[in-house]
Amino acid sequence: MEHMPALRPSAPAPDADELRCWTLATFGELRGLRASLRETIESHSVEIDDLFDKMAVVATELATNALRHGLPPTEVRLLRAGDHLILDVADHDLGTLPEFDEDRPLGAGGLGLQLTKTFAIDVGWYATNATKHVWASFPG
């Protein structure tokens, strides 16, 4: 199987404002993340339903990847930069790059980054001294 880097290294808008931050330690916290994400998006965007559906899938997939493959804690931040909402998901594993497997059959898992690239208008990743981040931008 060939693994290819899925994302270009780049930070999201440096002038983005943080609207909310969630810290996750277990998969059981994903449901609460989705509910809280919906409330936060509703208070910062007019078009909620389609936007929330896409962002909820991406937030869940990226957080699941971070919980499964990264080092805790996982942090999910919702940012606003101009007319865009950005999900930024971080973990503390600096030793691995975000990758997706183009040859993985449907139903075999591992489609989180592919779904993210489908639903978001822009996707990237970056690292700080302590964390690795994958982000996705949405019109909002």
The pLDDT profile of the chain, 140 residues, written as one tens digit per residue, is 334 445 677 888 888 999 999 999 999 999 999 999 998 988 876 667 788 899 999 999 999 999 999 999 999 999 999 989 999 999 999 988 887 666 655 555 567 888 898 999 999 999 999 999 999 999 87
Superfamily of domain 3-139: Histidine kinase-like ATPase, C-terminal domain (3.30.565.10)
Q: Give the C-alpha separation, 56 to 54, whole Å.
A: 6
Q: Is the dihedral of CA 122, 118, 136, 80 positive or negative?
A: positive
Question: Hey, is 82 helix, strand or coil?
Answer: coil
Domain residue spans of the chain: 3-139
Query: Structure pTM?
Result: 0.86
- Other Cβ atoms closer than 10 A to 61: 21
Task: Report the pLDDT value the prediction gives residue 3, as an integer from 0 to 100.
Answer: 42
